[in-house]
């Protein structure tokens, strides 16, 4: 019955889901899942676009309703899809498409996290916010699958296929923009209680006014009044401790799915399973998607902290094994060692999928209302910057692989130990309760 009652909250973010599918495909394109040779500029251009879009949306989300962001972002995705489809061999057009799609993603990701955290019931906020990483992981899987299975003799450009997908998903998001239900908190901040109550009525079935929804309006008003009482300056100060935690927490996501690990999987498959194709890439990304599905089904029951910490701990442990094998050139030509690397990377990616959606959930819960969009945008920008630095500095050589692998597993273990003590469990908490818990430096409770 609860699922039925809360169904409009999920339907309201379906247009965002279509956009995030194209985000996943473009992220995969940045991190090694491309067919023709690509320059570093081509790979990181989409990430620069995301940074630009996130910074713009952090400011605009204070004034524009959510539907406008969906319309603008989906329009940009459609334009990028047209460029990919019409000019698959034109480097300038493809570069423009990458920037445009990146800006479209950046424009929607901050409003999505803010909006979804505000419209979701406390009992299903983890599921709602986890949809971002679910759709991104599915997009990654789509891109990896068709690239891995591409026929070398085909005269049809794989970039055109990429464009068709982006065009279709963008048009889907554009056509479904009418499903968006605005956040009641957006209207409360503008002293429009009638519209806020109308939003609350639409967000939960049956779509009729009830005493429960009137009480929910009072709860939302108290949330807004408390945060506005602190003011912008005090909200910024109160958000610094959560910002430090979440910057590291979201940055770890960039190491869980990265160009070096994707390159190592490709190499290990070639050396350990010669002649058997690149089917491991399909399984690799499918396991990440499966991990995300598993996580979002547990976030509102088991909680966020246990799921996220389990993912970090296993990724750190498996990272040691991968680093040790690749630390010796003699292992690079041993089929058994490379097959072991493939197995380790596949397991790694499942637990990376467990970790990924917790980052989106915590971003939606950690920050004070007035500073929230700016701090979310900052965390997204840091994640993209990590990807850009890795793309620009990585070469498939012994030293670079050793440095990356060692840093990754040390960073994962450091984050595990840090978050074991500092990150809170926010299951079934209101936004007020969650942001107060995030302000504490010591949070040992894990359930």
Q: Concatenated DSSP letters for 30-47?
A: HTT--SS---HHHHHHHH
CATH code, 304:
1.20.1250.20
Q: Is residue 37 part of a domain?
A: yes
The reported pLDDT for the residue numbered 360 is 97
Separation in Å, CA 39 to CA 32, 44, 229, 369: 11, 9, 50, 40
Q: What percent of the chain has pLDDT over 90?
A: 87
From residue 181, give the alpha-carbon distance in Å to each of 95, 108, 204, 294, 402: 34, 15, 11, 27, 49
Cβ–Cβ under 8 Å, residues 407 and 331: no
Chain segment 276-310, per-residue pLDDT in tens = 667 899 999 999 999 999 999 999 999 999 999 99
Under DSSP, is residue 149 helix (H, G, I), strand (E, B) or coil? coil
Provide the number of structural domains found in the chain: 1
Could you tell me if 446 and 306 are in contact, meaning their C-beta atoms sit under 8 angstroms apart? yes
User: Measured in whole angstroms, how far is the alpha carbon of residue 227 from the centre of its chain?
Assistant: 26
With beta carbons less than 8 A apart as the criterion, state whether 436 and 230 touch. no
Helix (H, G, I), strand (E, B) or coil at 90: coil
pLDDT at 211: 82
How far, CA to CA in Å, does 336 sit from each of 21, 150, 283, 332, 339?
36, 27, 19, 10, 5
pLDDT score for 155: 77
Structure tokens at 149: 């299975």
CA–CA separation, 223 and 218 (whole Å): 9
pLDDT digits (tens, 9 = 90+) for 258-270: 999 999 999 999 9
Among 247, 227, 266, CA closest to 436: 227
Q: With 70 as the cut, is the pLDDT of residue 447 above it?
A: no
What's residue 1's pLDDT?
45
- Contact by Cβ (8 Å): 57, 72: no
Residue 82 lies in a domain: yes
pLDDT score at 210: 80
Q: Is residue 446 part of a domain?
A: no
Q: Once rounded to an integer, what is the mean pLDDT over residues 376-394?
A: 97
Whether 195 is in a domain gets the answer: yes
Query: Scanning the structure block, which residue is given the tokens 């639409």?
Result: 202
Does 152 reside within a domain? yes
Question: According to the model, what pLDDT value does residue 69 have?
Answer: 97
- What is the pLDDT of the chain when averaged over all its residues? 94
Measured distance CA(188)–CA(166) in Å, rounded:
36
Question: Does residue 3 register a pLDDT over 80?
Answer: no
Range with lowest mean pLDDT among 73-82, 146-155, 237-246, 336-345? 146-155
Can you tell me the distance from the alpha carbon of 279 to that of 264, in angstroms, rounded to the nearest whole number? Answer: 14
Residue 445 within a domain = no
DSSP string, 244-288: HHHHHHHHHHHHHS-HHHHHHHHHHHHHHSTTSTTHHHHHHHHHH
Residues in the chain: 447
For residues 116 and 1, the answer to whether their CB atoms sit within 8 Å is no
Residue 447 within a domain: no
Q: CA 389, CA 130: separation in Å to the nearest integer?
A: 26
Question: Can you tell me the mean pLDDT for 127-132?
Answer: 97
Residue 437 near residue 426, CB atoms below 8 Å? yes
Predicted model pTM: 0.96
Give the residue carrying structure tokens 């450009």: 157
What are the distances in angstroms from CA 233 to CA 191, 365, 368?
A: 22, 19, 11
In a domain, 444, yes or no: no
The distance from CA 154 to its chain's CA centroid, rounded to whole angstroms, is: 33
Provide the pLDDT confidence category of residue 275 given band limits of 50, 70 and 90: low
Q: Which domain holds residue 288?
A: 2-439
Q: Which two tokens stand for residue 90?
A: 């034109």
CB 359 within 8 A of CB 374: no
First to last CA, the chain: 25
As a whole number of angstroms, the distance between CA 266 and CA 342 comes to 9
């Amino acid at each position: 019955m609860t699922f039925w009652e809360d169904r409009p909250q999920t339907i309201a973010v379906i247009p965002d889901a279509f956009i995030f599918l194209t985000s996943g495909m473009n992220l995969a394109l940045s991190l090694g899942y491309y067919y023709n040779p690509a320059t570093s500029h081509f790979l990181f251009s989409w990430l620069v676009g995301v940074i630009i879009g996130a910074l713009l949306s952090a400011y605009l989300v204070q004034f524009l309703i959510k539907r406008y962001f969906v319309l603008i972002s989906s329009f940009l995705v459609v334009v990028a899809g047209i460029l990919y489809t019409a000019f698959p061999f034109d480097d300038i057009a493809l570069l423009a498409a990458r920037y445009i799609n990146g800006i479209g993603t950046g424009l929607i990701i901050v409003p999505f996290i803010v909006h979804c955290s505000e419209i979701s019931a406390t009992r299903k906020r983890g599921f709602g916010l986890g949809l971002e990483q679910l759709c991104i992981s599915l997009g990654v899987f789509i891109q990896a699958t068709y690239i891995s299975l591409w026929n070398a003799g085909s005269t049809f450009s794989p970039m055109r296929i990429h464009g068709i997908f982006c065009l279709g998903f963008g048009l889907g998001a554009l056509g479904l923009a009418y499903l968006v239900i605005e956040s009641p908190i957006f209207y409360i901040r503008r002293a429009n209680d009638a519209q806020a109550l109308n939003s609350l009525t639409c967000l939960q079935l049956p779509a009729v006014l009830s005493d429960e929804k009137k009480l929910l309006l009072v709860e939302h008003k108290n949330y807004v009044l408390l945060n506005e009482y602190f003011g912008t300056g005090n909200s910024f100060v109160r958000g610094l401790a959560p910002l430090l935690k979440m910057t590291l927490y979201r940055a770890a996501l960039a190491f869980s799915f990265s160009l070096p690990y994707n390159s190592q999987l490709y190499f290990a498959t070639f050396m350990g399973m010669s002649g058997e194709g690149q089917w491991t890439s399909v399984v690799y990304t499918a396991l990440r998607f499966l991990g995300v599905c598993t996580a979002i089904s547990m976030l509102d029951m088991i909680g966020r902290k246990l799921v996220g910490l389990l993912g970090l701990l296993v990724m750190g442990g498996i990272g040691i094994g991968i680093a040790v094998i690749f630390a010796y050139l003699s292992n690079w030509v041993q089929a058994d060692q490379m097959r072991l690397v493939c197995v380790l990377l596949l397991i790694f990616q499942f637990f990376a999928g467990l970790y990924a959606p917790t980052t989106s959930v915590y971003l939606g819960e950690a920050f004070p209302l007035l500073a929230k969009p700016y701090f979310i945008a900052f965390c997204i920008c840091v994640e993209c910057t990590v990807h850009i630095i890795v793309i620009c500095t990585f070469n498939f050589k012994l030293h670079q692989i050793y440095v990356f692998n060692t840093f990754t597993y040390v960073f994962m273990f450091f984050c595990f130990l840090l978050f074991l003590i500092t990150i809170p469990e926010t299951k079934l908490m209101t936004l007020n309760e969650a942001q107060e818990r995030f302000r504490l430096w010591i949070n040992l409770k894990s359930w």
